[in-house]
Amino acid sequence: MSSGGSPYRRFRKDVESGGGSSGGDEYDVVHDPFDIARTKSAPIDRLRRWRQAALVLNASRRFRYTLDLKKEEEKKEILTKIRAHAQVLRAADLLIEAGQQQDGNPKEPMPPIPTGGYDVSPEQLATMTQDHDFATLQNFGGVKGLAAKLKTNPDKGIHEDEPSILDRKNVFGSNTYPRKKGRSFWRFLLDACRDTTLIILMVAAAASLALGIKTEGIKEGWYDGGSIALAVIIVIVVTAISDYKQSLQFQNLNEEKQNIQLEVIRGGRRMEISIFDIVVGDVIPLKIGDQVPADGVLISGHSLAIDESSMTGESKIVNKDHKSPFLMSGCKVADGYGTMLATSVGINTEWGLLMASISEDNGEETPLQVRLNGVATFIGIVGLVVAVSVLIVLLARYFTGHTEDTEGRPEFVAGKTKVGDAVDGAIKIFTVAVTIVVVAVPEGLPLAVTLTLAYSMRKMMADKALVRRLSACETMGSATTICSDKTGTLTLNLMTVVEAYVCGKKVDPPNNTPILPSGIVTLITEGVAQNTTGSVFLPEGGNDVEVSGSPTEKAILQWGLNLGMNFEALRSKSTIIHAFPFNSEKKRGGVAVRRSNSEVHVHWKGAAEIVLAACTRYMDSNEQLVPLDVAKVEYFKKAIEDMAGQSLRCVAIAYRPLKGETVPTDEEELTNWELPEDDLVLLAIVGLKDPCRPGVRQAVELCVKAGVKVRMVTGDNLQTAKAIALECGILGSNADATEPNLIEGKSFHALTDAQRLEIADRISVMGRSSPNDKLLFVQALRKRGHVVAVTGDGTNDAPALHEADIGLAMGIAGTEVAKESSDIIILDDNFASVVKVVRWGRSVYANIQKFIQFQLTVNVAALIINVVAAVSSGEVPLNAVQLLWVNLIMDTLGALALATEPPTDHLMDRHPVGRKEPLITNIMWRNLLIQAFYQVTVLLVLNFRGREILHSQHDPKEHAIKEKNTLIFNAFVFAQIFNEFNARKPDEMNVFKGVTKNRLFMGIVALTVVLQVIIVMFLGKFTSTVRLNWKLWIVSIVIGFLSWPLALLGKLIPVSERPFGDYFINLFKSCRKPRNQGTYLGLKTLKPIIANNLNSCLCISQEKMRTILDYKVGYWNFGRVLLSFL
Give me the active site residues, please. 485
Whole-angstrom Cα distance, residue 926 to residue 5?
A: 13
Question: How many CB atoms lie under 10 A from the CB of residue 150?
Answer: 24
CB 791 within 8 A of CB 804: no
CB 787 within 8 A of CB 803: no
Whole-angstrom Cα distance, residue 987 to residue 993?
A: 12
CB 483 within 8 A of CB 927: no
- Inter-helix orientation angle 957-984/1043-1050, to 10°: 40
Whole-angstrom Cα distance, residue 521 to residue 500?
A: 13
User: Looking at the DSSP assignment, which residues form a beta bridge with residue 879?
Assistant: none
Read out DSSP for 700-714? HHHHHHTT-EEEEE-
Whole-angstrom Cα distance, residue 440 to residue 390?
A: 13
Q: What angle do CA 468, 469, 473 make, to 5 degrees?
A: 105
Helix (H) or strand (E) holding 123: helix 122-130
Whole-angstrom Cα distance, residue 619 to residue 187?
A: 75
Pairing of strands 765-767, 742-744: parallel
- Three-class SS state of 565: coil
Nearest Cα neighbor of 693 from 789, 831, 792 is: 831
Whole-angstrom Cα distance, residue 803 to residue 912?
A: 20
Nearest Cα neighbor of 66 from 450, 360, 441 is: 450
Nearest Cα neighbor of 496 from 647, 611, 683, 638 is: 647
Whole-angstrom Cα distance, residue 302 to residue 338?
A: 6
CB 65 within 8 A of CB 447: yes
Whole-angstrom Cα distance, residue 914 to residue 18?
A: 8
CB 411 within 8 A of CB 398: yes
Read out DSSP for 212-271? HHHHH-HHHHTHHHHHHHHHHHHHHHHHHHHHHHHHHHHHHHHHHHH--EEEEEETTEEE
Whole-angstrom Cα distance, residue 662 to residue 886?
A: 86
CA 524 to chain centroid? 46
Nearest Cα neighbor of 479 from 781, 276, 265 is: 781
CA distances (Å), origin 23, targets 12, 15, 105, 675: 13, 9, 74, 53
Whole-angstrom Cα distance, residue 993 to residue 990?
A: 6
CA distances (Å), origin 421, targets 211, 398, 958: 8, 12, 19
- Three-class SS state of 42: coil
Cβ neighbours for 210, distance < 8 A, ≥ 6 positions apart: 225
Q: State phi, psi for 128 to the nearest 5 degrees.
A: -60, -50
Percent composition of the chain: helix, strand, coil (DSSP 3-state, to 5): 55, 15, 30
Q: Which long-range contacts (CB under 8 A, 24 or more apart) does 620-626 make?
A: 620/503, 620/504, 621/503, 621/504, 621/505, 621/516, 621/517, 622/517, 623/517, 623/519, 623/520, 625/681, 626/504
